[in-house]
Amino acid sequence: MSFATHSMVGRLAVAFVSLALWGCSEEQSETLAAGETFQDCEYCPEMIVVPSGSFMMGASDADDEAIDRLERPQKRITFSEKFAVGVTEVTVAQYRFCQLNGGCNASDRLYVLQLPDGRVINSRETSAFDEALLDVTYPEAGLNWLQAKAYTDWLSKHTGKSYRLLTEAEWEYVARAGSDTVYWWGDDFETGRAHCFACYENGLTFSEQEQIKVASFPPNPFGIYDLFGNVKEWVLDCRESEFAKKAFFYISDKRNGFCEGRGVRGGTFGNGYKPRASQRTFSKVDTVFKYYGFRVATEYLPERSN
């Protein structure tokens, strides 16, 4: 066999091995599929992968309760890549873990907790409180937008991954979960789907108008809980004063930098109306309501281990 032939055979062999290795590398670097979950630490939010896709953002003609100036006309939004969102809102335990690890500068926040034995303790009294609080699965609420953003900044630093709040479009996309109806289950509200005053046939008593534990109702088809009730959720999008005269409550696509107001989505336990997927509102970034919580998102998707 000539030298040229040997060289050709050698090059083909190297190319074959390289292609085989490249194929293995590609297989090994495959990221989690839609519907799969991950969690970067014990007290980090559990995340679920959301499929790529598109949807019509805003209220359809079938939604008789929509406010035109806020929710119409509809526009098509496309997500070309998968992303991940919190399976639930950030919980009290997850937020407290942030505080105990040097993040979430909200040391003035006073928590009161009743223990199983009936004792009532607060966060300024005893270290035993911290251990008890780390078991609390209620949504963290009563935060302004700046505090919610600070949590995502800390979580990014703590995990080495990039976390943030959801955008308005992402929030509505996951709330609809592939549907084009008022709710992901249809155009008519059904009891047993969400926690709010108007969500129950006989309403709620005064003492019942409080938060309940996350994931108390079944998830939507994307595997995500509590988008229609319990607490509202801060999002990234900005409402700027220059738009106020043109469209009341207009929320722009600006997500970074200073904004006087930010978007809030979802419904709360105190709602006297049934929350819908396309409902939009905003609040000033320093607003603190006991109804306001938040959920996190990330473009980071772990690789699937083989």
Rg (Cα) of the chain, in Å, rounded?
23
pLDDT at 188 over 60: yes
Residue 238 and residue 262 in contact, taking contact as beta carbons nearer than 8 Å = yes
Give residues with Cβ within 8 angstroms of 291, minimum separation 6: 141, 231, 232, 268, 269, 270
Residue 171 and residue 233 in contact, taking contact as beta carbons nearer than 8 Å = yes
SS3 96: helix
Per-residue confidence band for 189, with pLDDT thresholds at 50, 70 and 90: confident
pLDDT at 54 over 50: yes
Question: What gap in Å lies between CA 161 and CA 171, rounded to an integer?
Answer: 20
Map tokens 């534990």 to a residue.
213
Residue 145 and residue 287 in contact, taking contact as beta carbons nearer than 8 Å = yes
**Which alpha helices (H) appear in the chain, and where do they start and end?**
3-28, 68-71, 92-100, 127-133, 145-159, 168-176
User: At CA 94, angle to CA 91 and CA 98, rounded to 5?
Assistant: 135
Question: What gap in Å lies between CA 181 and CA 30, rounded to an integer?
Answer: 33
In the chain, where the domains are located:
33-89+139-298, 92-136
Q: How many other C-beta atoms can be found within 10 angstroms of the C-beta atom of residue 74? A: 16
Per-residue confidence band for 51, with pLDDT thresholds at 50, 70 and 90: very high
Look at the alpha carbons of 275, 278, 281, 287 in this order and tell me if their dihedral is positive or negative.
Answer: positive
pLDDT at 9 over 50: no
Model confidence, pTM: 0.81
Q: Quick one: residue 35, left, alpha or beta (phi over 0 = left, psi -120 to 50 = alpha)? A: left
Map tokens 């008593």 to a residue.
205
Task: Identify the residue with better confidence: 240 or 166.
Answer: 166
Question: Ranked by mean pLDDT, which of 126-130, 182-186, 204-208 comes out on top?
Answer: 182-186
pLDDT digits (tens, 9 = 90+) for 229-259: 889 999 998 875 544 434 433 445 566 667 8
Q: Which CATH architecture has domain 33-89+139-298?
A: Alpha-Beta Complex (3.90)
Q: Give pLDDT, residue 137.
A: 85
Question: What gap in Å lies between CA 98 and CA 105, rounded to an integer?
Answer: 9
Looking at residue 167, what DSSP letter applies?
P
Per-residue confidence band for 111, with pLDDT thresholds at 50, 70 and 90: low
Mean pLDDT, residues 129-136: 64
Paired tokens of 200: 């129950």
